[in-house]
A and B are shown apart, each in its own frame.
Chain A
């Protein structure tokens, strides 16, 4: 699914990722933990195609190099990033945005675009399943949403777009227990042997609900340790100091 080899990235001459290797196979769920500023969001952004980084190394998605592929093409190929800080877009209705988004992805996949009615049906069903208040969907995209509502909206978008690779950048940060369960439910109901996940988190708590196949520690732009789910529990107790 995803193959990252010796990825180095810098911004304004500042090196952030310093030779990162990571392979995620279909059906696998990987968690990435690591201290603040270690480069986790940078990795997520680069995978989604954000511009502005100087990059070297290999970046393959389903056997194809995606280094030169634009953000929207990557989304259309099935890469989804739930933002650490979702943006507020004034004047853009959430429902309309989700519909436009879904239809551009569907179009790229060669599927029929959804009309308003079928879209509304889908969104109603999905938000009900996840326990997300439909009220937010008729509002402007993320404008005035609480921190938790923004994160839930990201999970809703993930569910609707049905991506092959979902990257969650600290989606659980700042959430109450019920909201964390919603995030977990979003992931677990998508999870199957074809889909992959990369979950960036600071807390073991989310991993109680989503069992990862691998846990990596990212520090100073490199993966310095890889283990199974027990590693997360260990880190919760000891912190990152021992690893470095």
Chain B
């Protein structure tokens, strides 16, 4: 463990109004974390993202104390009408649901429920030890959102040498639908770690579509463990984009606990110099007749590193499972790196499972063809890159949101 990493079990004592059971659970998690330390590449799940090295290289000191920060205001997105919530350094600050029936929506500052399960991911243990804020959102039965909900995930400019542990929960009840955009705005000029544990529960016939993107390139270090429990006939889509973050690891566990579930994880990333992004998934098909679809596409520039570790687990009774997984990279530089490690564990016999991965560089003949029509090399290259990522972007149905994401990608591509 890093000498200058201050973790103090007294911090747990300071957490108010908790039961003895919860306290013990927190202490136990802390002990596990102290034992394991930050995960290094020695752990199978971390072999492509050595978090310990990231910590050692970026921090001389680090602590987990909670912060109270001053927050002015950020400009709302003008690209499309939306509801919003503001998270400031991970804490719920305020919300606005003017486009909705407010009676159908419960928003709270923190999800107190705990299932007392120990996760083998050391960062989740750290989170379970200290997290005491975040947000909790619940949508009533039979309610479909009129407009998208933007989650402004703001980090203030004074955040420095911190690990912020947040815990979030979204529950969409029967027959309800929600569309969210998680929009990260990092105003800190310093380095910090945001370590999130998020729990999504989709009840029968419900639908959640979530899109992730950042306002702009930033130096943040992000880890999120996302645990999704999906029920009968539910539909889950997670679209992951990037405007460039120094380090981002998204660890997604999806439990398809009943029939006719549709689960989609789609990502289109452009990673520039020294940007590191890992998407790790574990799709657990626990019931028959479900469909999961994962496609991760990375464009990697100088020293960019992209990782897709996708696992599909099919339980013996999960017949007629249809699972698809593809990792694809376009390498723009010899130093760029893409690692794709598909893993299948299948115990049912009547299933359709396909997986694949590929990486290649820009096709010079295509560039020549486009240039022969008067386009510059740069223009041609840009079109090829956008073309490569386009089938993911095409999953966005709303034209204004699509345009918004396209503009972000464009910025990211032009900057590099």
Residues of chain A having any CB pair with chain B under 8 Å: 48-51, 70-72, 74-76, 80-81, 83, 86-87, 89-92, 97, 100-102, 104-105, 108, 140, 157, 161
Q: In the complex, A101 Cα to B383 Cα: how many Å?
A: 12
Contact present for B373 and A161 (CB under 8 Å):
yes
B376 touches A104 (CB 8 A): yes
Can you list 6 A-B pairs with a CB-CB distance of less than 8 A?
A49-B372, A75-B372, A89-B387, A92-B383, A92-B387, A92-B390
Interface centre among B366, B373, B379 (most CB of A within 10 A): B373
Which residue of B has the minimal Cβ distance to A87? B369
A71 to B369, CA, bound (A): 9
Does the CB pair A76–B372 fall under 8 Å? no
CA distance A108 to B369 in the complex (A): 18
CB atoms of B373 and A89 under 8 A apart: no
Whether the Cβ atoms of A100 and B369 lie closer than 8 Å is no
B388:A91 contact, CB within 8 angstroms: yes
6-58 of chain B: CB within 8 A of chain A: none
Q: Are B383's CB and A86's CB within 8 A? A: no
* B72 touches A (CB below 8 Å): no
The chain B residue sitting closest to A51, CB to CB, is: B368
A100 touching B375, Cβ below 8 Å? yes
Residues of B within 8 A of A70 (CB): 371, 377
Cβ contact within 8 Å between A71 and B366:
no
Which residue on B lies nearest to A167, using beta carbons? B372
User: What residues of A have a CB within 8 angstroms of the CB of B376 in the complex?
Assistant: 72, 104
CA distance A219 to B199 in the complex (A): 71
The reply to whether B390 and A72 form a contact with Cβ atoms under 8 Å apart is: no
User: Which residues of B are in contact with A by a Cβ distance under 8 Å?
Assistant: 363, 365-366, 368-377, 379, 383-384, 386-391
Q: Given A71-B368, A83-B369, A87-B369, does the pair A104, B374 have CB atoms closer than 8 Å?
A: yes
Contacts of B366 in A (CB 8 A): 87, 89
- How long is the Cα–Cα vector from A51 to B371 in the complex, in angstroms? 12
Q: Is the interface of B mostly helix, strand, loop or mixed?
A: helix
State in angstroms the CA–CA spacing of A108 and B379 once bound together: 15
Is there an interface contact between A72 and B371, defined as CB atoms closer than 8 Å?
Answer: yes
A86 CA to B365 CA, complexed, in Å: 10
B residues in contact with A161, CB < 8 Å? 373-374
**Given contacts A89-B366, A91-B391, are A71 and B383 in contact (CB under 8 A)?**
no
A87 to B362, CA, bound (A): 13
Inter-chain contact B374/A108, CB cutoff 8 Å: yes
**Chain A residues closer than 8 Å to B369, beta-carbon distance:** 83, 86-87, 89
List residues of chain A with CB within 8 A of the CB of B388. Answer: 90-91
* Min CB gap A95→B, angstroms: 13
Could you tell me if B384 and A72 are in contact, using CB atoms closer than 8 angstroms?
no
Q: Which residues of B contact A81 (CB under 8 A)?
A: 372
List of A residues within 8 angstroms of B389 by Cβ = 91
Distance in angstroms from B364 CB to nearest chain A CB is: 8
Given known contacts A83-B369, A100-B379, A105 and B374 CB-to-CB distance under 8 angstroms:
yes
Cβ contacts under 8 Å, A87 to chain B: 363, 365-366, 369
Nearest chain B residue, comparing its CB with the CB of A108: B374
Chain B residues near A100: list those with CB within 8 A: 375, 379, 383
Among A76, A101, A108, the one with the most B-chain Cβ atoms within 10 Å of its Cβ is A101
CB atoms of A91 and B387 under 8 A apart: yes
Given the complex of chains A and B, what is the CA–CA distance between A98 and B368 in angstroms? 15
B393 to chain A, nearest CB (A): 9
B143 to chain A, nearest CB (A): 36
Whether the Cβ atoms of A71 and B371 lie closer than 8 Å is yes
Which of B363, B383, B391 is in CB contact (< 8 Å) with A97?
A: B383
Q: Do the beta carbons of A71 and B386 come within 8 Å of each other?
A: no
Q: Which of the listed residues A81, A100, A140 has the most CB atoms from chain B within 10 Å of its own CB?
A: A100
Contact of B372 among A48, A97, A102 (CB under 8 A): A48
Residue in B368, B374, B391 whose beta carbon sits within 8 Å of that of A101 in the complex: B374
Chain B residues lying within 8 Å of A83, measured Cβ to Cβ, are 369, 372
B390–A89 CB distance below 8 A: no
Pick the contact of A89 from B371, B377, B383 — CB < 8 Å?
Answer: B383
Nearest to B392 among chain A residues (CB) is A91
Q: How distant is B387 from chain A, measured CB to nearest CB, in Å?
A: 3
Expressed in whole angstroms, the Cα–Cα distance for A49 and B377 within the complex equals 13
